[in-house]
Structure 1
Amino acid sequence: MKRFWLGITAAAVVSACGGDTFNNSGTPENPVAPTPTVPEAIAGDVTSVSYDQANQTLTVTGSQLDNTPFEAVYTRNTALDVPGYEAYTTQDGSLDRHFTAYAQERDGVYATVVGGGPQFNSVIMGASFGRDGTYTAPDASQDGLGLVSYAGNYVGILNTEGDGNDLLPVTAGTSDDIRPTQIAEITGVIFINADFADNSINGIVYDRVLADSGTTLEDLSLFPGTITANGTFDGEVRLGSTQTVGTYAGIFGGTDASALAGALNVSNHISGGSGEALEYGVFVLAQCGTANADAVCNQPQP
């Protein structure tokens, strides 16, 4: 459980616990080796997640106090959807903590981010990702196939309160000291280059906006990281070229790494509040040149 960050104003800068694999429900037709454990820094308060995109169900294990029993089933909440991601929520009662989760799946890889709004001077947050389909890396020995790009939308949660529009009603006069809040969301766009010839990866999260206020936030640079033989990757997140603010990690999936899913955890990266900003976010992206590629991939030359 983490302390919450008192909210940023419109004048803001323009700009963990153990983890386990993100377990998608169902049996894959062409299984690969089990997904490696999600790094602790990324998992936060999330132990595991079961996401069934077809049936619109999401179950989270490990988030404290989100519901009873400890394994909580979240409800699909289309009103909170953001571009590229499905929203799920849970709140057991009017004075219980409200949780928001965002999830997406593509080509056998998936990711989710979960956050409970600030209450009693703390927040509960975490993220996860995984793969349950096939995976092969592009053939780096052939010219032009080793270096590939991925693009799409990013969604994150910030340890401050959002607009509260999804909260259950409370009795008039209820003290603010015990009222739950709804966590704030961040949206953005992400672009990643991966080089399977030297097994390196880097990218950027840009056009970042605090959804409830429209406040623009600073870009996050995904500094060069390493791709493993199993198709996982990780690296540092920085502001500009020198200030390390967190880490990112993820996994490739599909034939010739047709998609990737990942998550990041950053802190102390936003000015304008009275405390330490903490953000978890996820991204599930199609490779440029595939049928599901983002529009930004349509450049004059491939």
Structure 2
Amino acid sequence: MKRFWLGIAAVVAVSACGGDVFTETGTPVQPVEPTPTVPEAIAGNVTSVEYNQANQTLTVTGSQLDNTPFEAVYTRNAALDVPGYEAYTSQASSLDRHFTAFVQERDGVYAAVVGGGPQFNSVIMGSTYGRDGTFTAPDTTPAGSGLVSYGGNYVGVLNASGDGNDLLPVTPGTATEIRPTQTAEVTGLVFINADFADNAINGIVYDRVLADDPGSLTLTDLSLFPGTIDSNGAFNGEVRRGSTQTVGTYAGLFGGTDATAVAGALTASNHIDGSGGDALEYGVFVLAQCGTANADPICNQPRP
């Protein structure tokens, strides 16, 4: 497949802020502590999301042109699920932009990433995360070191066209210039170490592949370089390719008693060989702490 990369300069941008809502019932829940604001670089075009697990719907606010007004209800699309994340899609008609969203919630923290496929020389993309439950940090007294780990799955979207298998049909002969496309998706794995004694975090996103065309590009690891954790369990840091090339930022927060889960998001650009320097990616992760009931199998390591 020949992949179409849309120049980063053409990306549509809107102001993004906090105030995300993510509940199992769709009814807003007031967090015990204020949810930290998602940085604008991470949010992109996503202002907020509301997830109704019972009805299997996802309402996205702030993604321009996905519907009118600028709030759209995405419908469950299990055929596009990737490991660890539910997929939701929205396309109003055959010539309207197609949107794909991936979402997950665990122990009161959540994250969602949204990608509108390239159309009319622009893309609409972004991500969000938040917490609708409580948070306490792990024990850092002599009885506990405060050092914990998290592992699991990553999902991202690119400013490139995917396989298009979920697009509504168009009339034969419709000009390519006006046809919508479906966003390309990236899957991978994440491992994070957090030290609550030093309020530090670092990790890596690895085994990254294009979900619908795994052999077409070689996607390098993205290092989550050491960042800081604040008293509310929020964190941020640089995304690097290798040890020296800064390609973006990451941010997120911890949730649950003793920080049993973590949710976060990243954005990276100019990080994929073969994209002509135009690659732009938004991605999310929602992970369980090693040693908890929902821990990823990567946590099952030999103990000294």
Q: TM-score, normalised by structure 2?
A: 0.92
Q: With CA pairs under 8 Å and 6+ residues apart, which has the higher RCO, 1 or 2?
A: 1
The answer for the alignment partner of 1:256 in structure 2 is: 258
**Alignment partners' CA distance in 1, 2:173 and 2:137:** 59
**Alignment partners' CA distance in 1, 2:287 and 2:268:** 20
Q: What are the superposed Cα offsets for residues 237-262 of structure 1, whole Å, 9 maximum, x if unpaired?
A: 00000000000000100000000100
The 3-state SS of whatever aligns with 1:79 is helix
Cα RMSD for the two superposed structures: 1.5
1:23 and 2:25 are equivalent in the alignment: no
**Alignment partners' CA distance in 2, 1:182 and 1:145:** 46
**Alignment partners' CA distance in 2, 1:254 and 1:141:** 19
The answer for the alignment partner of 2:284 in structure 1 is: 282
**Alignment partners' CA distance in 2, 1:205 and 1:245:** 13
The answer for the alignment partner of 1:81 in structure 2 is: 81
Equivalent residue runs for 1:195-274 within 5 Å = 195-215=195-215, 216-274=218-276
Q: What are the superposed Cα offsets for residues 100-122 of structure 1, whole Å, 9 maximum, x if unpaired?
A: 00000000000000010000111
The answer for the alignment partner of 2:120 in structure 1 is: 120
| AA of the residue aligned to 2:161 | E
Aligned in 2, Cα 1:264/1:175: closer, same or farther, shift over 3 Å?
Answer: same
Aligned in 2, Cα 1:33/1:122: closer, same or farther, shift over 3 Å?
Answer: same
Q: Does the aligned pair in 2 maintain the 1:159–1:278 contact within 8 Å?
A: yes
The 3-state SS of whatever aligns with 1:261 is strand
**Alignment partners' CA distance in 1, 2:144 and 2:223:** 25
**Alignment partners' CA distance in 2, 1:275 and 1:296:** 33
Q: Does the aligned pair in 2 maintain the 1:53–1:104 contact within 8 Å?
A: no
The answer for the alignment partner of 1:172 in structure 2 is: 172
Q: CA deviation at 1:6?
A: 4.8
Aligned in 2, Cα 1:275/1:299: closer, same or farther, shift over 3 Å?
Answer: closer
The answer for the alignment partner of 2:10 in structure 1 is: none
Q: Which runs of 5+ in 2 are unaligned?
A: 8-12
The answer for the alignment partner of 1:49 in structure 2 is: 49
**Alignment partners' CA distance in 2, 1:142 and 1:239:** 36
Q: CA deviation at 1:70?
A: 1.4
Q: Does the aligned pair in 2 maintain the 1:86–1:104 contact within 8 Å?
A: yes
Q: Does the aligned pair in 2 maintain the 1:185–1:212 contact within 8 Å?
A: yes
**Alignment partners' CA distance in 2, 1:138 and 1:281:** 26
The 3-state SS of whatever aligns with 1:110 is strand
Q: Which runs of 5+ in 1 are unaligned?
A: 8-15
Q: What are the superposed Cα offsets for residues 66-97 of structure 1, whole Å, 9 maximum, x if unpaired?
A: 01221100000000000000000000000000
| AA of the residue aligned to 1:109 | V
Q: Does the aligned pair in 1 maintain the 2:138–2:144 contact within 8 Å?
A: no
| AA of the residue aligned to 2:234 | T
**Alignment partners' CA distance in 2, 1:203 and 1:123:** 29
Provide the aligned length of Structure 1 versus Structure 2.
Answer: 290
Q: Does the aligned pair in 2 maintain the 1:5–1:273 contact within 8 Å?
A: yes
Q: TM-score, normalised by structure 1?
A: 0.93
| AA of the residue aligned to 2:83 | P
- Larger mean CA deviation between 144-153 and 190-199 belongs to 144-153
Q: Does the aligned pair in 1 maintain the 2:6–2:118 contact within 8 Å?
A: no
1:111 and 2:132 are equivalent in the alignment: no
Q: Does the aligned pair in 1 maintain the 2:43–2:126 contact within 8 Å?
A: yes
Q: Does the aligned pair in 2 maintain the 1:17–1:43 contact within 8 Å?
A: no
Q: Does the aligned pair in 2 maintain the 1:53–1:105 contact within 8 Å?
A: no
